[in-house]
């Protein structure tokens, strides 16, 4: 299926690992000119090289997009300004960066609440504020916030995180109201628990020293912490990547202001 993404310029924040990297890979596979972002130059360079290498081996017939780098902490205004100078316009903005950490409510101080709000909401909002008017001017654009099932079904495991993910949904809906009758869309994707480096670190913290063999961590986590999941396994990043590439494509023009689930049935309600 050709997603008509050839030479669309796509900035994917936090794309050296996990879901962001998978989205960057799938967009590049479809011929988009992907901009990889992360906080460390060497890691970003390695990711750019890895994506280029992987695609030439696996799908040489694809018109692989140009892969560029935007290094720096997306939570830093000066870094964002540099990115705007380097890439004044993009066709696709994937606001993927997001921090998460299980925390007890009474252990979350105000500084922590603010930090989660800054990274998970305001940083992506600042990118949208720059790129959305330019997308409207060129009459094409896609902004996708990567939220979480925690946005609509807070587990209580990390209230400081869930709050920000609910905000992503509201923000995306508000921004979609500014795109009326254009070819610009703003949407949110809500992955369920996905086996990324960040989640692997979380599993290590939960199970190291528990006596349970590592091969059983995933099943135990799903059984005891995600009992509602229909698939009873962690989602793989590439599953989210493929879906995001479709939502980012011109073919997905009728998704607008939507909150889209890729959660393996974790959210038990119909809506
Ligand atoms: N994994 C899940 O189960 C899950 C489920 C639902 C939603 N999500 C959401 O999906 C998104 C990605 O999660 P993930 O699990 O893939 O994360 P991850 O494995 O921890 O990867 C995070 C990525 O973001 C980069 N990064 C982190 N902070 C950054 C910053 N301030 N500026 C620039 N880059 C930054 C990291 O690169 P460097 O360290 O190299 O800078 C890395 O590439 C998040 O918004 C998360 O809330 C995840």
Are 135 and 203 in a shared domain?
no
Cα–Cα distance for residue pair 191/147, rounded to 1 Å: 7
In this structure, the answer to whether residues 114 and 214 fall within a common structural domain is no
Whether residue 144 sits in one domain with residue 28: yes
DSSP per-residue letters across the chain: ---S-TT-EEEESS-SSHHHHHHHHHHHHTT-EEEEEES-HHHHHHHHHHHHHHHHHH-TTS-PPP-EEEES-TT-HHHHHHHHHH-S--SEEEE---------GGG--HHHHHHHHIIIIIHHHHHHHHHHHHHHHHT-EEEEEE--GGGTS--SS-HHHHHHHHHHHHHHHHHHGGGTTSSEEEEEEEE-SB--HHHHHHHHHHHTTSS--GGGHHHHHHHHH-TT-SS-SPBPHHHHHHHHHHHTSGGGTT--S-EEEESTT-S-S--
pLDDT per position as a tens digit, 137-191 = 999 999 999 999 999 999 999 999 999 999 999 999 999 999 999 999 999 999 9
Determine the average pLDDT of the residues in 181-206: 96
Asked if residue 68 belongs to a domain, the reply is yes
Render pLDDT for 17-63 as a digit per residue (tens, 0 to 9): 999 999 999 999 999 999 999 999 999 999 999 998 888 655 444 45
Distance 180 CA to ligand 1 centre (A): 31
Q: Which pLDDT score is estimated for 65?
A: 73
264, part of any domain = no
Note the pLDDT of residue 55.
Answer: 83
Cβ(98) to ligand 1 under 6 A? yes
Q: Is residue 266 part of a domain?
A: no
Q: Is residue 227 part of a domain?
A: yes
pLDDT-derived band at 66 (thresholds 50, 70, 90) equals: confident
Ligand 1 pocket residue status of 124, Cβ below 6 Å:
no
**Are 179 and 205 found together in one domain?**
no
* Same domain (yes/no): 127, 149: yes
Instruction: Determine the pLDDT at residue 59.
Output: 46
Residues 114, 173, single domain; the answer is yes
Whether residues 98 and 205 share a domain: the answer is no
Q: Which atom of ligand 1 is nearest to the CA of 119?
A: 31
- Domain range for 220: 198-234
Mean pLDDT in residue range 210-230: 97
In a domain, 242, yes or no: yes
Asked if residue 263 belongs to a domain, the reply is no
Instruction: Write the pLDDT tens digit of every residue in 79-124.
Output: 999 999 999 999 999 999 999 999 999 999 999 999 999 999 999 9
137 alpha carbon to ligand 1 midpoint, in Å? 30
Q: Which residues are catalytic?
A: 161
The answer to whether the CB of 238 is under 6 A from ligand 1 is no
CATH of the domain at 248: 3.40.50.720
Q: Are strands 33-38 and 68-71 parallel, antiparallel or unpaired?
A: parallel
Question: Could you tell me which residue, 65 or 137, shows the higher pLDDT?
Answer: 137
Q: Are residues 178 and 160 in the same domain?
A: yes
Question: Which residue minimizes the CA distance to atom 32 of ligand 1?
Answer: 73
Closest residue by Cα to atom 14, ligand 1, is 18
Taking 70 as the threshold, does the pLDDT of residue 64 lie above it? no
Task: Please tell me if the CB atom of residue 100 comes closer than 6 angstroms to any atom of ligand 1.
Answer: yes
Which of 14, 71, 162, 261 best tests ligand 1's pocket when mutated (most atoms within 8 Å of CB)? 14
| Residues β-bridged to residue 9 | 33
pLDDT at 1: 82
On whether residue 3 sits in a domain, the answer given is no
- Look at the chain and report how many structural domains it folds into: 2
Q: Are residues 229 and 242 in the same domain?
A: no
State the Cα–Cα distance between residues 38 and 183, nearest whole angstrom: 29
Tell me, yes or no, whether 89 and 182 share the same domain: yes
Q: Which residue has the tokens 């959305």?
A: 132
Same domain, 64 and 101: yes
- Confidence (pLDDT) at 228: 95
Examine the domain organization and report whether 68 and 109 are in the same domain. Answer: yes
pLDDT at 250 over 90: yes
CA distance 14 to 17: 7
What mean pLDDT do residues 210-238 have?
Answer: 97
As given in the structure block, the two tokens for residue 15 are 């794309």
């Amino acid at each position: 299926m050709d997603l008509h993404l050839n030479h669309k310029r796509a900035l994917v924040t936090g794309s050296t690992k996990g879901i962001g990297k998978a989205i960057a890979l799938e967009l590049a596979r479809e011929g988009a000119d992907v901009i990889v972002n992360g906080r460390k130059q060497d890691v970003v360079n390695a990711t750019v090289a890895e994506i280029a290498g992987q695609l030439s081996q696996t799908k040489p017939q694809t018109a692989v997009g140009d892969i560029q780098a935007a290094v720096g902490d997306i939570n830093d205004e000066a870094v964002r300004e540099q990115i705007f100078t380097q890439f004044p316009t993009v066709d696709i903005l994937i606001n993927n960066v997001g921090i998460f950490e299980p925390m007890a409510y009474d252990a979350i101080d105000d500084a922590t609440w603010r930090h989660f709000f800054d990274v998970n909401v305001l940083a992506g909002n600042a990118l949208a504020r720059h790129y959305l008017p330019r997308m409207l001017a060129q009459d094409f654009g896609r902004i996708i916030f990567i939220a979480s099932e925690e946005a609509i079904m807070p587990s209580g495991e990390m209230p400081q995180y869930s709050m920000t993910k609910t905000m992503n949904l509201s923000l995306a809906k508000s921004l979609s109201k500014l795109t009326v009758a254009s070819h610009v869309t703003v949407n949110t994707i809500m992955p369920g628990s996905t086996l990324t480096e960040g989640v692997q670190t979380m599993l290590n913290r939960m199970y190291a020293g528990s006596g349970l063999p590592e091969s059983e961590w995933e099943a135990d986590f799903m059984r005891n912490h995600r009992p509602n999941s229909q698939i009873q396994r962690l989602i793989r990043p590439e599953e989210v990547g493929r879906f995001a590439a479709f939502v980012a494509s011109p073919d997905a023009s009728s998704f607008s202001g939507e909150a889209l689930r890729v959660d393996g049935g974790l959210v038990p309600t119909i809506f």
